[in-house]
Amino acid sequence: MRNTLRITSLSIVLATGALGSCTTDSDSGARLWRTRCAACHGADGAGRTRFAEGRPFADLTDGRWKHGSDRASLRRLVADGDPASTMPPFADRLAPEEIDAVVEHALKLAAAGSVGAEP
Ligand code: HEC
């Protein structure tokens, strides 16, 4: 009896966990950022990783943009990549709404990072 109870509550926990992972766009943006972008750009978007060494524009938090700072420019770059750098194209790996979500997250990191930044 006790075991049955424990198994029941365990499956409730698992079911809620699964539901929780596909909630809002900002959640999936953060998750995509962690799995697809953070290795190069860092969890905070400041690009302090060895993949971004010598690539100052991998820092998304310094307020300087090579490819444009607006949403449309970010979307275009993330979809097409930059053949002149290691920034890969994601159009064939992410759905358009996933690109939207991860770009939204990148803009959030950029805004958070530039607060109090040196000019
Ligand atoms: C293999 C490493 C790598 C991965 C993975 C990667 N990037 Fe990049 N990214 C770079 C580099 C390097 C640059 C700088 C490009 C340059 O110097 O032109 C860059 C540039 C950018 C820029 C433009 C910055 C500017 O100044 O205009 C954005 C936005 C960006 N990445 C977003 C993303 C997002 C979002 C992801 C995940 C979906 C991602 N990147 C994944 C390496 C990477």
Ligand 1 pocket, 48 CB below 6 A?
A: no
CA distance 61 to 24: 24
Q: Which of 118, 15, 13, 18 is nearest to 62 (CA)?
A: 118
Percentage of the chain surpassing pLDDT 70?
A: 73
Higher model confidence: residue 13 or residue 108?
108
pTM (whole model) above 0.85: no
Distance between Cα 57 and ligand 1 center (Å) = 8
Ligand 1 pocket, 52 CB below 6 A?
A: yes
Give the pLDDT score at 11.
57
Fold of 25-114: Cytochrome Bc1 Complex; Chain D, domain 2 (1.10.760)
What's the pLDDT band for 116 if we cut at 50, 70, 90? low
Give the pLDDT score at 36.
97
Ligand 1 pocket, 79 CB below 6 A?
A: no
